[in-house]
Amino acid sequence: SETLSTKTCDKVSDKGKNPAGFGVARLAPPNEVFNAAPVFDRAGFLARVMGDEELARTIAEAFLDDLPRQIATLASAVVAGDCNQAKQQAHQIKGASANVGGEALRATALAMEQAGQAGNSETLRTLLPELQTRFTELKAAMKNSSCKPPGTPPITSPCAS
């Protein structure tokens, strides 16, 4: 498959080939969306694993190990101006972060997915550092909660419930 250039990526947006019927420009300003979402919804995460702390730890560890690779893949697509690949990778990050209760990261990944769908490479470039920051925040929140190896003393965190 041919990699789209930034110019080509933006051209797709200009032609109105947006099957979802909305443009990224119509979304709420990024900081309003991201600041409204919690960094880590520990209670929601535990509910999804039916309260199984050991399972939550296992899933959190796998997530924290895998997400840097996924972000690197997304960053490569953004740098290459490949909006379709960026959209697909942002979709994967959105789903993974939703599964573990990373709501702020999920919101950022959703905005990037929509930017990729709209062919908006400038928005993708703008949101990438935000996504990286949201992952760093989520990682810290998860490590400060009980989603860490057994025997590690808990650290008081506003994200832990």
Q: Tokens 């550092």 sit at which residue?
A: 129
Q: 10-residue block means of pLDDT along the chain (161 residues)?
A: 43 42 43 73 96 95 98 98 98 98 98 97 98 97 72 44 42
53 in helix, strand or coil?
A: helix
| pTM of the complete model | 0.74
* 98 token code pair: 């939703």
- 44 burial level (CB within 10 Å; 0-12, 13-18, 19+): middle
- The amino acid present at 136, given as its one-letter code, is T
Under DSSP, the state recorded for 50 is: T
- The burial class, CB within 10 Å (0-12 / 13-18 / 19+), for 1 is exposed
Q: Write down the pLDDT at residue 36.
A: 80
**Residue 126: its pLDDT value, please?**
97
